[in-house]
Chains A and B, each alone.
Chain A
């Protein structure tokens, strides 16, 4: 399926520059325009993954698409879909004495119902940004007298790393390390979205797919009659995915395909999945904007509950989110960010109301940052 075969120039990055090639992009745009013209109606594709959201803007791709091809953002920004309750749980943990909470950078700014981790940090709580859960383990090893709670967020891509550190903690017999497990799974969320009639096809997440492979998406074509293509993150990758989705729509032959072979084997990464199986079981989970989705989250296996930080944390019930915030509809692809009343108004990256404005991968933040400035003139 990969049609891209260009020799990289000297001093360029292999697998990067050839996928940003202007001439390849031009060819694909021409093809997209032709197909869209023939379709004679408006089509809507959803980019499931937050990194695709950012990439679409970074490469300026929306400015290249014909008017009748719409791309809406999906639920694939891990920060955005983390529920208020999970954030509140982390906030409660951070207030406990002798506790260090670790998290990925973006999570610090996400508002719970009682502030954010960042606000707590300025109050003096020990909250640290880590780049890998391995750093959290190191902190636990070096701080015997404290307990280290890692806020574990992310999809199938990041969950194996959490599984690996749980195994490590078990081997080392660490009793001061635990996780707040907020990991989520993409296919169950897609199952909820696929029947949505206005979505014609899905650009499937490259990183998640490198773990789960192509099989978990097959239901899209088989059961819902929708196409899905696994796509990479460079301009040519994305244009190629849109072109292929248009072709499949035009032919009315829904299919699920892998266009990101250079990173995603069709079978995914069995070793990582085995690791997930050892450590986690599937559970129902709450997604911000979607509510409860059956079997869409991961929790620690019963034998590993000692690493579950939520045990024993008592928490007041979370308050309801801002009433006018429409992140939920953005995450379901029902509206685009500028359609929300708060967007660019009281909800801006500095004082984000909803999570989609917080994360750099969030659809609202990406629109605000890179999009056209139409809404700023309102």
Chain B
């Protein structure tokens, strides 16, 4: 096979067939996909409520420490479904490829996508490939949509936080954001920064026994923890108080952000879950979370109060108080 993607790979002709057979089936193939029908017919949907979500993925660089756009494309949609209590089952996959992309790179991305999907127990059952002229997109854009099923016990919603609830996070924040930034800008931090990119459906499935005690689940991606907390405060009409010293940030992430003048609160995570939990069930939920590798560092970071609806406040390590606002624009490293 030639080394680069050309427009012919998206033309619907023989080259496209080859691409599908040689690459996509190789890494993602399953009975439903291999039928090559116009749409996948999903005969076996378990009992429960259907959960449906979609997300598009653009990232520079395509491969970064801890992950790549393929892994991200699975985890992103899987986590959105999981955040509604859903068990993700099926994914669709759309590739928009810039002509000239190295086929080896595409292979690597698809292999990672396939591996992540397999590990998360989801099947890619339908898809599409387009190739666009050079300069029309940046190497490759990926869209995935996913279908899952949520047990009737799950009633999570971003608007369901109640005064008195505790706010939990499943692990360290900011690791994806800083790892991608460092890779893109070639900032050398001795390879210590690594994206947290991971599928969280296993973690959430473990929590189904406490579903009734969990009022909100949300994965902080773009805009980071700060943005998710603001969304919860706004939509639930409550105030959130967090304590800086409880918010887990690993050492390399903290060092890099101190150096660049960035705030980890606003940096993306791709494998973390925020949970708002009834105060009497905190121990139970934490115990379950911590049993999962992805929730080992889970902890309480704050609580819901009713004083100033829609606002998020943080008690700083030194005892002061500051407001945590929505992120306005992408953070830019400061001058000095």
Contact = CB atoms under 8 A, between A and B. Distances in A.
Interface of A: 11, 13, 16, 20-22, 25-26, 29, 50-51, 54, 57-64, 78-79, 104-106, 108-109, 129, 131, 153-155, 157-158, 207, 235-236, 239, 348-350, 359-361, 368-373
B318 A372 contact: no
24 contacts: A13-B254, A25-B319, A54-B261, A57-B322, A58-B263, A59-B316, A60-B314, A60-B316, A61-B318, A63-B322, A104-B333, A105-B334, A131-B187, A154-B335, A157-B336, A235-B316, A235-B318, A235-B320, A239-B318, A360-B332, A360-B334, A368-B325, A370-B323, A372-B323
B314 to A, nearest CB: 7
Nearest to A29: B319
Nearest to B185: A131
Contacts of A63: 320-322
A239 B317 CA distance: 14
Contacts of A235: 316-318, 320
Give the residue among A57, A369, A372 with the most B Cβ atoms within 10 A.
A369
Given A51-B261, A60-B321, A207-B336, 12 more contacts: A13-B251, A13-B258, A21-B318, A51-B334, A59-B320, A61-B318, A104-B335, A108-B332, A239-B318, A349-B329, A360-B261, A371-B323
A154 B332 contact: no
Contacts of A22: 317-319
A153 B335 contact: yes
Interface of B: 185, 187, 251, 254-255, 258, 261, 263, 308, 311, 314-323, 325, 328-329, 331-336
A25 B311 CA distance: 26
A58 B325 CA distance: 12
A79 B329 contact: no
A350 B314 contact: no
B335 A78 contact: yes
The prevalent SS among residues of B at the interface is: loop
Contacts of A20: 316-318
Nearest to A350: B328
A16 B259 CA distance: 12
Contact of A13 (B255, B316, B331): B255
Given A25-B318, A131-B333, A373 B254 contact: no
Contacts of A51: 261, 334, 336
Nearest to A49: B336
Nearest to A25: B318
A38 to B, nearest CB: 23
A13 B258 CA distance: 11
Contact of B334 (A13, A106, A371): A106
Nearest to A205: B336
Nearest to B262: A360
Give the residue among B254, B255, B323 with the most A Cβ atoms within 10 A.
B323
B251 to A, nearest CB: 7
Give the residue among A63, A129, A155 with the most B Cβ atoms within 10 A.
A63
